[in-house]
Amino acid sequence: MHALLEISGLRKAYEGSGRRTEAIRDLTFSVDAGELVCLVGPSGCGKTTLLKCVGGLLAPTGGDVLLDGRRVGGPPPGMAFVFQEYGRSLFPWMRVGENVELPLRQKKLSKPRRRELVSDALESVGLADAAKAYPWQLSGGMQQRVAIARALAYEPEVLLMDEPFAAVDAQTRADLEDLVRGLWQQRGITILFVTHDIDEAVYLGERVLILSASPTVVQEQLKIDLPGERDQLHTRAAPRFTELRTHVYEQIQAAKREARPGGAG
């Protein structure tokens, strides 16, 4: 194992219309190759800002993001994103297969290899038969599976997921969570998963980074010592799961109190 992703002293302030919003105060953490790390924190604490800085979509105000020792200055070829808004991330006039294939056109791959990657990725997310459909013919959960397939087909070193299941119903969300853990186990990809849902972070992560309220710092890094094989029924009912989620909840509450003017209270 080595640190694939290193974030050091990251700061981000938004400036505009005479206003300055400090979104990220000082973040330092690393993610090992093959790790599944969840970032959890209250809404507005800077999770999306952080992920955009990590993915090179937004320039930080200070600090560094290194991917495999190389500084990230723009979207690096080794990263893929899955956003919350699946409805806006797929092109409605393109068939599912074409949507998944689109980013591969940037890579120097033969057409048969592209086809192979597309069908393999669609099969991995349980949509082997949907290649010819249009995104709008699919349910929200299926559209998000297409977005995941598109990211997988790209064969990223790191998969960045920004609240990807926040807009789907609870049952679909549970299925998608299991899909992500399954893909992570099968493919050994490195995943950085952002969520404001404490239970989701504990269920999915091998490690959970608890972020403070904005301006953000890492409040705590918590190893999730649940068994590798997890399932919605047993894992969520396990006493250790409850202990961990309670701990995360308390930390987030503490962070909120500390963030209030005047400190605790």
User: For binding to ligand ADP (CB under 6 A), which residues are involved?
Assistant: 14, 21, 23, 41, 43-49, 214
Q: Which is nearer to ligand ADP, 133 or 166 (CB)?
A: 166
State the DSSP H helix or E strand holding residue 111, giving kind and residue range, or none if neither.
helix 111-124
Q: Tell me whether residue 135 or residue 215 sits nearer to ligand ADP (CB atom).
A: 215
Q: Please state the closest distance from residue 139 (CB atom) to ligand ADP, in A.
A: 25
**Whole-number minimum distance, CB 48 to ligand ADP, in Å?**
3
157 CB-near residues (< 8 Å, 6+ apart): 4, 33, 67, 68, 78, 79, 189, 190
End-to-end CA distance of the chain: 42
Tokens 């799961």 correspond to 241
**Dihedral sign for Cα atoms in the order 161, 251, 216, 43:** positive
Q: How far apart are CA 211 and CA 12, in angstroms?
A: 15
Phi and psi at 141, nearest 5°, equal -60, -40
Rounded to a whole number of angstroms, the minimum distance from the CB of residue 257 to ligand ADP is: 18
CA separation for the pair 193, 114 (Å, rounded): 27
Comparing CB distances to ligand ADP, the nearer of 142 and 159 is 159
CA distance 67 to 7: 9
Smallest distance from ligand ADP to CB 43, Å:
5
User: C-alpha 26: how far from its chain's center?
Assistant: 20
CB of 41 to ligand ADP, least distance (A): 6
Q: With beta carbons less than 8 A apart as the criterion, state whether 186 and 126 touch.
A: no
Closest contact distance (angstroms) between CB of 218 and ligand ADP is: 14
Comparing CB distances to ligand ADP, the nearer of 14 and 136 is 14
Pick the closer one to ligand ADP by CB: 20 or 113. Answer: 20
Tokens of 69: 């020792």
**Cross-strand bridge partners of residue 64:** 8
Q: Which is nearer to ligand ADP, 25 or 115 (CB)?
A: 25
